[in-house]
Amino acid sequence: MSEKIVVTSIGIISALGQGRKAHIDAFRAQQSGLRYPQHLKSKYADEFVLGEVRLSNDELSELVGLPTGDNGYTRTTLLALAAVQDIVNDAGLALLQNVPTAFINANTVGGMCTVENMYMEFIAPTAPEEYLKYIDTLDCAESTQRITEHFGLNAFSATVSTACSSSANAFIFGARLIKQGVVKRAICGGCDSLSRFTLNGFHSLKNVDKNPSKPFDQNRLGLNLGEGAGYVLLETESSAKERGAHIIAEFSGYYNSNDAYHPTAPSPDGAGAYRTMQKAMEMAGLQPQDIGYINAHGTATQSNDSAEGKAIENLFGSDAPYFSSTKPFVGHTLAAAGSLEAIFSMYAMEEQMIIPNLNFETRMEELNISPVASLIENVALKHVLSNSFGFGGNNVSLVFSKP
């Protein structure tokens, strides 16, 4: 039997702020981080509320010890550096450099946040040379390379890009590397920044709500986009105990699958989501009644919430565990969503609380279950499940257990 994989450190930044306290405080206050964007240059800046990180690029650069101004780093990479820096500060850079530590990074937008601002210059007969250094950032792996170089994490690196399930898949990749003895530890997670490309694309699909989203509500109108970065340090239980590290959670189960149903929509009956949750719990050795809380993917789009809600109801029955979508707090952060929401699930278990599904009012007609609409404290959570479902029916469920 393979050794337990555990989480020993977390780094996070989102529209709610940076670090554990900022997020826990916002959950307890039931205070959303959504607002009209201040940094995204979009004609829709005064129309759509977004989960934008408050810090400017210069402030992010200062936070991670980089020069301000045109430093060659995109906002995507800066957000990732800010989150990974927390893990480095906690675990110690020597620990991560002296033994094989993988860096598994998820991303979907790459440096589009920067390059799209230079489009007119790029298509000019002669592009200004100072802009050419950003061409490579359109590759999602560019941010991975920048981060590994910045921290000297040279043992193993990879980039995962499976739409909204990307960083959840990064967790699985990292755990498998450790179990197979390729590396001793792995920093896993993802990052994405807001861009006009993303906002315009989702708007064209008629999937974006101009007001704060209402996941699992009968009158939901779509999602709010967001940005951020979230990473965890994974290692074996024996490794953590050997160095006296605080164990945050056991990464007890996981599974990924694909509906192969439609390029953007999930299978309407939720069959893929059902199977993915079931197999993740099976790996963890758990029964449905063992799960105390589900952090649902919950995008507030018509197709996702219907399919995911049916899957939860079919698997758990009418007595389903507490569940909620935390996207009304930070927006849908795309590649970062899986890792951020997995972290939120672990926070809930640590704090023994159920994070509310903000803005919920009316139960969906096709469901007999509803998300938790208000904060609940002092709940004995031993096992939590986090769902991430991406375009193309790419489904991931992660299970975390109290150590």
The residues assigned a catalytic role are: 164, 297, 332
Angle at 143 between CA 177 and CA 57, to 5 degrees: 135
Ramachandran area for residue 398 (φ above 0: left; ψ -120 to 50: alpha; else beta): beta
d(CA 382, CA 403): 9
Buried b (16+ CB within 10 A) or exposed e, 254-276: bbbbebebeeebbbeebbbbbbb
- Classify residue 14 as exposed, middle or buried by CB count within 10 Å of its CB (0-12, 13-18, 19+): buried
d(CA 297, CA 305): 8
Helix, coil or strand: residue 322: strand
Between the two ends of the chain, the Cα-to-Cα distance in Å is 18
d(CA 178, CA 384): 22
Q: Which of 239, 253, 248 lies closest to 282 in space, CA to CA?
A: 253
223 neighbors 201 (Cβ within 8 angstroms): no
Inter-CA distances, 88 with 8, 95, 131, 148, 183, Å = 12, 9, 31, 12, 17
Residue with tokens 């299978």: 267
Beta strands in 210-275 (DSSP E): 228-236, 249-258
Residue with tokens 């939120």: 344
